[in-house]
Structure 1
């Protein structure tokens, strides 16, 4: 049995063999690439994060609960800062945003990308300097744009001709000159799920490069001379492992930059290549390090600028998932275990698609481990499912857990920092879980658990 197969079944089951080929030690093992860096399994068999046992976390905060390793998140911010020392790093707040996280990324020297008025409000309430905020979104309202101008947001990524007109009118009224980037749809087919690919032509974001809309948007901004056009922006999707998509995107965007220079005599000083850098959800994933990403992106940009006889623009990137995703795991309690006569065993936990919709929405794969204890039982092929009234309420599609997994056990699912709490819902009127940050053996609540009173408070009927 190969060590990298331990503790998880993540791809084609037929290729990985039957459960009896795996030992209890394999299933108890924790693969470092999947977990926050401080996670260990203690002498008592329980998983611990930053020296604090998950048993203690569950006892104090209940389950399900998102557990954030604060030192891990900060170290990933520093990894990107070290790899991109002269570039601007915008943490993509849509991955997960709360005031505590805003404060952490601000203290680590990162900028922040928001895409709604609510995200902007969260950023401002946490003290993020507005000049370090970028504002995305394909349908920003007049009120949202007005607030961005009034608070001094550092840059706005414009996404439509309507928005250009809207923002131009607001800027004239206020006598301000906001900095903007034009979002360019470059026609790259990213190797990812169709719902999180954002640079192909048939989707809602940005200005089409092939159809000429991107160039016309830039010309419109320059000719009206109310907004300050700083550069171009491209984002090809999420959970990307192959750098070739970034190469194609950079080539096409910089060709547009050269076209703008030739037509208007203006060489734009900035370029944003977006984010979408992949992480390891399973042992089958092999993400690049920030250092590798930096090396590849600089090489791509330098080469294309040389080919177009352009000065190298100031580069910015937008990692979100790559920072917060691996820093969080979700802790559940097992409620029932159901064996379907050898066909499959269903392990039901006290959360599900309301706290992690990604498995149902994107067919995403996750790992899981028995977290409250180690086990000497033989491995069992299981499906970890939630408590909701949907057959698609699946947390982990296929995983090897100990055959003695039972009600009351704690199960942990790593890699849930990105797009789990931020996309959480109240389906079946289930309150959303809390977020707990752990550092140096101490846990603190940073987002409290919703209650039934919270749900009823909104129901005014």
Structure 2
């Protein structure tokens, strides 16, 4: 094995993922194919947990599973002693099927239904992150009807804008999420749940955005939330025990990205909280965080088979692959950038500039706008990196394309984690027409 541009390559000049020839993975499981290197996920998970231990701070690191949800992935997180952030009945049901410890499940969402809350209560999950007054009233009714107490966090918007894409910025005042910290909504929500018979308030939660490359926003948010918690302590003698600062830690999609090490974000948060509580009688709260992308994003790669090529003279060369926006909508939705290689030509020189196009019936179905690669031929395998977050989880059956398989690799071994859909899967919910033509 040798390293080519930071990628492991075998004697055949083929890209290795988790010690396995990527072209063999493509041959075995077909393409498009998501491949996750579990060793990288475990390394990140342990890095987060160890940072809190080194700082002697009680904490929960919850995997924000919207990044990628499956039974097997939840079981990996269970092995690494992480908690779990779910946002729907589907994610919660998957976690239950995976045997995930229910006391470490946190239920998020800005419009939880009665049925979803009942499912959470039925399984006695660890915490519900309450997002609005409607949800408070639902919980009051349901917990009283069932005589069941529930732990909650209040999600607040601290008025902190992360420097990120507008679509994925959630901590500013104009947001569909949470109680506004600045206009009194958070205080009103506190009054609604304070000393309630069935609702136990643990503390506050915020999430300021995604793909964040500095610590400033996290530090400011931590300061705002801790000051509010201290205010409630001084006014009511109420001790919040949990401060959840969300996630959003950036990863390196391309050479232009410069994220910090995850431990840096964590240490900066801890410093702010420790400094503030040291000035008061307020006890140090547990710190919870919710990494998703930073746990699985760069551990995932997508393998595609290259098909047709089209040259528009003096404009560009299109190189089409057998996937596209149906398995990775982020480039079309956010203008997200990715890097890629031809997995079976790692020892060849880049000689052509290509636009990587998908096969969906949309002109905007481009996975990469411009990239230099070796001369490509039909049947070559394109490997696109850092697709582990929001690729499969946002995949669709647009154009009735089947969703890809997902494979886990680790230390030279591999296993199927999600099977590829079949054409029969595509129609299995369809029903025949029964209305007669007039």
TM-score (norm 1): 0.90
Q: d(CA) in 1 for partners of 2:318 and 2:303? A: 17
How many equivalent pairs are there?
427
Structure 2 spans left out of the alignment, 5+ residues: 433-438
Contact 1:371 1:411 in 2 (8 A): yes
Which residue of 446, 452, 455 maps to 2:417? 446
- Equivalent residue for 2:22? 54
- Equivalent residue for 2:435? none
Q: d(CA) in 1 for partners of 2:350 and 2:235? A: 69
Cα gap change, 1:204/1:308 in structure 2, threshold over 3 Å: closer, same or farther? farther
Query: Which segment drifts farther, 71-80 or 278-287?
Result: 71-80
Matched position secondary structure for 1:275: coil
Q: How does 1:417-456 map to 2 (within 5 A)?
A: 417-456=388-427
Which residue of 200, 207, 227 maps to 1:235? 207
Matched position secondary structure for 2:308: strand
The two structures, once aligned, show a CA RMSD in angstroms of 1.5
- Equivalent residue for 2:306? 334
Q: CA deviation at 1:51?
A: 2.2
- Equivalent residue for 2:191? 219
Cα gap change, 1:279/1:371 in structure 2, threshold over 3 Å: closer, same or farther? same
Which residue of 385, 410, 415 maps to 2:386? 415
Q: d(CA) in 2 for partners of 1:82 and 1:378? A: 41
Matched position secondary structure for 2:266: helix
Give deviations 1:248-301, integer Å, cap 9, x for gaps: 111111121122123322121110000011000001112211221221111121
Q: d(CA) in 2 for partners of 1:419 and 1:315? A: 25
Contact 1:250 1:304 in 2 (8 A): no
Q: d(CA) in 2 for partners of 1:132 and 1:31? A: 40
Contact 1:91 1:319 in 2 (8 A): yes
Which residue of 132, 150, 159 maps to 2:122? 150
Q: d(CA) in 1 for partners of 2:350 and 2:410? A: 34
- Equivalent residue for 1:283? 255
Contact 2:349 2:373 in 1 (8 A): no
Cα gap change, 1:291/1:378 in structure 2, threshold over 3 Å: closer, same or farther? closer
Q: d(CA) in 1 for partners of 2:429 and 2:231? A: 52
- Equivalent residue for 1:179? 151
Structure 1 spans left out of the alignment, 5+ residues: 1-27, 33-38
